[in-house]
């Protein structure tokens, strides 16, 4: 083997729990198949194929583009379309097409009670791209940077933020309402005492991944109070705001609606639209003090980062999303909730099958098991109260190999400081996803029912309880 080219003085990151599961999956799937076991998906947090129709999305987009071309050049359709598309396939402004931003500001603003200024709406490569730019803004300082996160937190955030060698994570435990506000304050202060620059508090208040809860409105207010008092801001990652199971008057408001001057909102179209086009937006009214006694909009710094990174967002994708924000007659939509309702019919049904099944098969053993009932999103967190159970990698691999049930262990979602506080943290929990399976319609319902039954049966057997009848 050739000698390594350079000695890099850097700490290497551990592989994320979801990557580990993806790597082990083909081997475990083969093992389950050898035993004649059917595979049950409660692991992947992907959008369901039944509500992800790219053909409809593309057809509507194309028809919308033709219509725009006709509007621009009524007598020469081809020239109109060519000119329109030229703009979409050329170099463009980092801010992206104004009509797409105006359309999004109108719809999202209406739907979540926020007044969005389209000039501060910056396109991102999904929420992942927003996370990346938020981190790189603070990395420029060249200092030790502290991120305040939930315990557990989204691995995509930690994976990105930890790329910077001088990043540190201070985590805050959660209950069913959300994170503990005073613990949040404590962690901000602890980070500062350690000489770290606190960048922001990162969280997922709606349909927390992987926490399986939505924060209550009261808790959101308490969190915002602490954030303001401590002089920081919150970054709310918001893939699941539209994947809500609450009635409209009970939906908690996003941080950006509560206090836009102390929140950065990362919207992504991945769940309400499709993930592939990689459409997202960052919105905020946070202002930052910078050198020379100056104050600037956070979005201005974010825009500078974006122009040095993606340079410009795919304008065709953004205008495709603009098309999605018009109805079948190309009238501007005022709301996306009717679109969400169609998707949520499937997610709510899957969620109900999961929660009803867990209640039916495990409800009598409340001393053994517990699970969250998420107000939004794709996940429920399942807890084993039996101290004999350790939901480590070996345990989840056993669930696949012996029962055909795919789940994700929770321990990998806890930052290392949470593991120091409690070495067993997350080792009694699994993340159950109800968003994805391979089939549609009645077959999907059947697959979901079978999955929850197979999982419940596995949980019973592993805890030394009687198996379900006929299994």
Interface residue with ligand PLP among 18, 52, 94, 127 (CB under 6 A) is 127
Instruction: Based on the shown chain and the rule CB under 6 A, indicate whether residue 433 belongs to the binding site for ligand PLP.
Output: no
- Give 110's Cβ-side CA count (13 Å radius): 12
If the CB atoms of residues 84 and 272 are measured against ligand PLP, the closer one turns out to be 272
Minimum gap (Å) between residue 283 Cβ and ligand PLP: 14
If the CB atoms of residues 132 and 187 are measured against ligand PLP, the closer one turns out to be 132
If the CB atoms of residues 154 and 361 are measured against ligand PLP, the closer one turns out to be 154
If the CB atoms of residues 320 and 404 are measured against ligand PLP, the closer one turns out to be 320
The gap from C-alpha 26 to its chain's centroid, in whole angstroms, comes to 25
| 146: three-class secondary structure by DSSP | strand
Instruction: Based on the shown chain and the rule CB under 6 A, indicate whether residue 155 belongs to the binding site for ligand PLP.
Output: no
Which part of the chain contacts ligand PLP (CB under 6 A), choosing from 62-70, 122-130, 213-221, 399-407?
A: 122-130
If the CB atoms of residues 126 and 178 are measured against ligand PLP, the closer one turns out to be 126
42: its two tokens: 């409660």
Instruction: Based on the shown chain and the rule CB under 6 A, indicate whether residue 325 belongs to the binding site for ligand PLP.
Output: no
Minimum gap (Å) between residue 271 Cβ and ligand PLP: 8
Instruction: Based on the shown chain and the rule CB under 6 A, indicate whether residue 204 belongs to the binding site for ligand PLP.
Output: yes
Instruction: Based on the shown chain and the rule CB under 6 A, indicate whether residue 45 belongs to the binding site for ligand PLP.
Output: yes
If the CB atoms of residues 260 and 277 are measured against ligand PLP, the closer one turns out to be 277
Each residue 278-317 as x (binds ligand PLP by CB under 6 A) or -, in order, gives --x-------------------------------------
The DSSP element (H or E) to which 282 belongs, if any, is strand 279-284
User: What residue has token string 């598309």?
Assistant: 85
| Distance from the first to the final alpha carbon of the chain | 52
Minimum gap (Å) between residue 131 Cβ and ligand PLP: 7
The DSSP element (H or E) to which 23 belongs, if any, is helix 17-34
Nearest 10 degrees: Cα torsion 376, 108, 151, 176: -40
Which part of the chain contacts ligand PLP (CB under 6 A), choosing from 21-29, 126-134, 247-255, 282-290?
A: 126-134
Using CA atoms, how far apart are residues 126 and 310, in angstroms rounded to an integer? Answer: 12
Nearest residue to ligand PLP by CB is 126
Instruction: Based on the shown chain and the rule CB under 6 A, indicate whether residue 154 belongs to the binding site for ligand PLP.
Output: yes
Maximal C-alpha separation, the chain: 76
Cβ-based neighbour number of residue 412 at 10 Å: 23
Interface residue with ligand PLP among 156, 217, 398, 450 (CB under 6 A) is 156
User: What residue has token string 């109900």?
Assistant: 352
| 265: three-class secondary structure by DSSP | strand
Instruction: Based on the shown chain and the rule CB under 6 A, indicate whether residue 237 belongs to the binding site for ligand PLP.
Output: yes
Instruction: Based on the shown chain and the rule CB under 6 A, indicate whether residue 16 belongs to the binding site for ligand PLP.
Output: no
Which part of the chain contacts ligand PLP (CB under 6 A), choosing from 123-131, 394-402, 421-429, 452-460?
A: 123-131
Which part of the chain contacts ligand PLP (CB under 6 A), choosing from 29-37, 120-128, 133-141, 358-366?
A: 120-128
Interface residue with ligand PLP among 18, 132, 167, 270 (CB under 6 A) is 270
Q: Apex CA 331: angle with CA 327 and CA 332, to 5°?
A: 85
Of 79, 80, 121, 116, the C-alpha closest to 97 is 121
If the CB atoms of residues 167 and 435 are measured against ligand PLP, the closer one turns out to be 435
| 429: three-class secondary structure by DSSP | strand
CB neighbour list of residue 143: distance below 8 Å, 6 or more residues apart: 166, 196, 197
Instruction: Based on the shown chain and the rule CB under 6 A, indicate whether residue 18 belongs to the binding site for ligand PLP.
Output: no
| 373: three-class secondary structure by DSSP | coil
If the CB atoms of residues 154 and 169 are measured against ligand PLP, the closer one turns out to be 154
| 148: three-class secondary structure by DSSP | strand
Minimum gap (Å) between residue 465 Cβ and ligand PLP: 32
Using CA atoms, how far apart are residues 272 and 339, in angstroms rounded to an integer? Answer: 8
Each residue 326-365 as x (binds ligand PLP by CB under 6 A) or -, in order, gives ----------------------------------------
Instruction: Based on the shown chain and the rule CB under 6 A, indicate whether residue 128 belongs to the binding site for ligand PLP.
Output: yes
Instruction: Based on the shown chain and the rule CB under 6 A, indicate whether residue 126 belongs to the binding site for ligand PLP.
Output: yes
DSSP 169-228: EEEEEEETTEE-HHHHHHHHHHHHHTT-EEEEEEE--SS-TTT-----HHHHHHHHHHHH
Phi, psi of 75 (to 5 degrees): -95, -10
Using CA atoms, how far apart are residues 382 and 373, in angstroms rounded to an integer? Answer: 10
Binding site for ligand PLP (CB under 6 A): 45, 126-128, 154, 156, 204, 209, 237, 239, 268, 270, 275, 280
């Amino acid at each position: 083997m050739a000698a390594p080219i350079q000695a890099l003085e850097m700490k290497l990151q551990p592989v994320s729990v979801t990557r580990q599961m993806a790597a082990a999956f083909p081997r475990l799937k083969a093992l389950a198949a050898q035993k004649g076991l059917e595979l049950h998906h409660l692991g992947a947090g992907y959008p369901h194929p039944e509500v992800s129709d790219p053909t409809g999305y593309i057809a509507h987009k194309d028809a919308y583009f033709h219509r725009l071309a006709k509007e621009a050049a009524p007598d020469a359709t081809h020239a109109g379309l060519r000119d329109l598309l030229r703009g979409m396939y050329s170099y463009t402004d980092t801010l992206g097409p104004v009509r797409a931003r105006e359309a999004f500001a109108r719809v999202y603003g209406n739907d979540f009670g926020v007044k969005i200024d389209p000039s501060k709406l910056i396109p991102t490569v999904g929420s992942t791209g927003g996370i990346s730019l938020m981190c790189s803004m603070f990395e420029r300082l060249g200092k030790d940077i502290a991120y305040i996160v939930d315990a557990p937190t989204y691995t995509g955030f930690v994976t990105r933020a930890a790329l910077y060698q001088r990043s540190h994570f201070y985590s805050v435990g959660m209950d069913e309402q959300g994170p503990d506000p005073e613990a949040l304050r404590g962690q901000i202060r602890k980070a500062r005492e350690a000489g770290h620059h606190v960048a922001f508090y990162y969280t997922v208040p709606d349909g927390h991944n992987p926490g399986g809860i939505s924060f209550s409105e009261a808790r959101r207010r308490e969190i915002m109070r602490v954030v303001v008092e401590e002089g920081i801001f919150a970054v709310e990652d918001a893939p699941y705001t539209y994947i809500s199971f609450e009635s409209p008057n009970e939906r908690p408001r996003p941080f950006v609606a509560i206090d836009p001057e102390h929140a950065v909102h990362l919207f992504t179209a991945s769940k309400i639209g499709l993930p592939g086009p990689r459409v997202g937006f960052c919105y905020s009214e946070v202002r930052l003090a910078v050198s020379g006694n100056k104050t600037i909009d956070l979005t201005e710094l974010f825009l500078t980062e974006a122009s040095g990174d993606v340079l410009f967002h795919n304008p065709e994708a953004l205008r495709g999303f603009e098309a999605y924000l018009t109805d079948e007659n190309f009238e501007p939509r005022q709301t996306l909730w009717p679109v969400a309702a169609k998707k949520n019919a499937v997610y709510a049904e899957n969620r109900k099958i999961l929660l009803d099944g867990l209640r039916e098969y495990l409800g009598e053993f409340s001393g053994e098991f517990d699970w969250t009932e998420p107000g939004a999103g794709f996940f429920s967190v399942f807890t084993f109260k039996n101290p004999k159970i350790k939901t480590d990698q070996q345990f989840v691999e056993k669930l696949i190999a012996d029962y055909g049930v795919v789940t994700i262990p929770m321990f990998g979602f806890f930052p290392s400081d949470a593991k120091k506080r409690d070495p067993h943290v997350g080792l009694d929990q699994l993340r159950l996803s109800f968003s994805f399976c391979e089939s549609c319609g009645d077959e999907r319902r059947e697959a979901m029912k079978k999955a929850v039954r197979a999982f419940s049966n596995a949980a019973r057997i592993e805890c030394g309880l009687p198996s379900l009848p006929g299994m």
